[in-house]
Amino acid sequence: MALTIGEIAKRAGIGLETVRFYERKGLIEEPPRTDSGYRQYPEDVVARLRFISRAKDLGFSLKEIAELFSLRVDPDTTCADIKRRAEAKITTIEEKIRDMQGIQGALSKLAASCSGSGPAGDCPILEALDSQEKDW
Amino acid sequence: MALTIGEIAKRAGIGLETVRFYERKGLIEEPPRTDSGYRQYPEDVVARLRFISRAKDLGFSLKEIAELFSLRVDPDTTCADIKRRAEAKITTIEEKIRDMQGIQGALSKLAASCSGSGPAGDCPILEALDSQEKDW
DNA sequence: CTTGACCCCGTAGTATGGTACAGGGTGCAT
DNA sequence: ATGCACCCTGTACCATACTACGGGGTCAAG
């Protein structure tokens, strides 16, 4: 039972333009067509689209997801290869978290230095942004 | 003593194309020109460009930085207004950190579930991405 | 046989923050 | 006076992930 692009998009919970976009990006295969040119998707493409959504939720870019698929297809790929990818991703995410925490700490410090009264001209936050030194 | 665009860019530690880009975006004012059309920057524009870099480091977008400038110019703006902006930014950054931590936790769980041996076809990471339920 | 929902393609636009030309003119030193 | 570094404008391009639109064709119900 083949599905139309609208059906498959609905089942995967994404827009149908997005399905075509993923096709152009090589994330899903080009499906067979009807005589009139309509795409005819096998049902398991829904699972693939959900895989993409889940991987995106885990912070993988579309490019990385495409790599994941090609790894999976390659018979020489091992479980360890996949694990390495996941661990590399964990590392970059941890780095991002640390960066964000640094930013958050600096901003909190700045916000704390501001009494919240008086004109903006005297605001210690803007002054800190103006000053040459950044001690944050 | 007016500075050329190249000088000012060098002093601010950014590219000169970026200076023009900021001008187009309204982050710095259009400077006066020489008869031949060269931009002539007053020295304090360096401070403004540094302010932009610093605010960017703190996670503000260019649009938000432009707002900060217009707040600063507005005589009705108070220190409390600036503080509110900073606190709002802290909140959104904290949210992002929590999101990232969720992703990191989920990925770590998946990576831990993988022994790292065997073919990719049996990889529990890929299986988790394939499965309907996400318990992560 | 008409109407409306759905599909096709290609292209362009969105937001973000720049970067890179191409094809010129200018400023200064030798 | 000639060479080189620097400046000018406008436009196009990079990555990321879509989203929208125009101008068509198709399918199924009534």
pLDDT in tens, B72-104: 888 999 999 999 999 999 999 898 899 889 889
Decide if pLDDT at A131 tops 80.
Answer: no
Gap from A36 CA to chain B (nearest CA, Å): 32
For residue A105, the 8-state DSSP code is H
pLDDT at A134: 64
CB within 8 Å: A83 and B114: yes
Question: Which of A87, A107, A120 lies at the smallest CB-CB distance from B72?
Answer: A120
Decide if pLDDT at B121 tops 90.
Answer: no
Distance in Å from D26's C1' to A5's CA comes to: 14
Quick one: what percent of chain B has pLDDT higher than 90? 68
Q: In whole angstroms, what is the distance from residue A39 CA to residue A14 CA?
A: 16
CB proximity list for A36: less than 8 A, separation 6 or greater? none
Report the first-to-last Cα separation within chain A, whole angstroms. 61
Judge whether residue B125 contacts strand C, using its CB and a 7 Å cut-off. Answer: no
Report, as an integer, the average pLDDT of A76-95: 92
Q: In whole angstroms, what is the distance from residue B99 CA to residue B62 CA?
A: 23
Gap from B41 CA to chain A (nearest CA, Å): 18
Decide if pLDDT at B132 tops 70.
Answer: no
Give me the DSSP letters along chain B: --B-HHHHHHHHTS-HHHHHHHHHTTSSPPPPB-TT--B-B-TTHHHHHHHHHHHHHTT--HHHHHHHHHHHH-TT-BHHHHHHHHHHHHHHHHHHHHHHHHHHHHHHHHHHT--S-SBGGG-HHHHHHHSS----
CB within 8 Å: A79 and B120: yes
Instruction: Write down the pTM of the prediction.
Output: 0.85
Dmax over CA atoms of chain B, in Å, equals 73
Question: Which of B54, B78, B129 lies at the smallest CB-CB distance from A120?
Answer: B78
pLDDT digits (tens, 9 = 90+) for B25-69: 999 999 999 999 999 999 999 999 999 999 998 889 999 999 999
pLDDT band at B114, cuts 50/70/90?
very high
pLDDT at A132: 61
Averaged confidence pLDDT in chain A: 91
CB within 8 Å: B114 and A82: yes
Distance in Å from D16's C1' to B104's CA comes to: 21
pLDDT digits (tens, 9 = 90+) for A12-38: 999 999 999 999 999 999 999 999 999
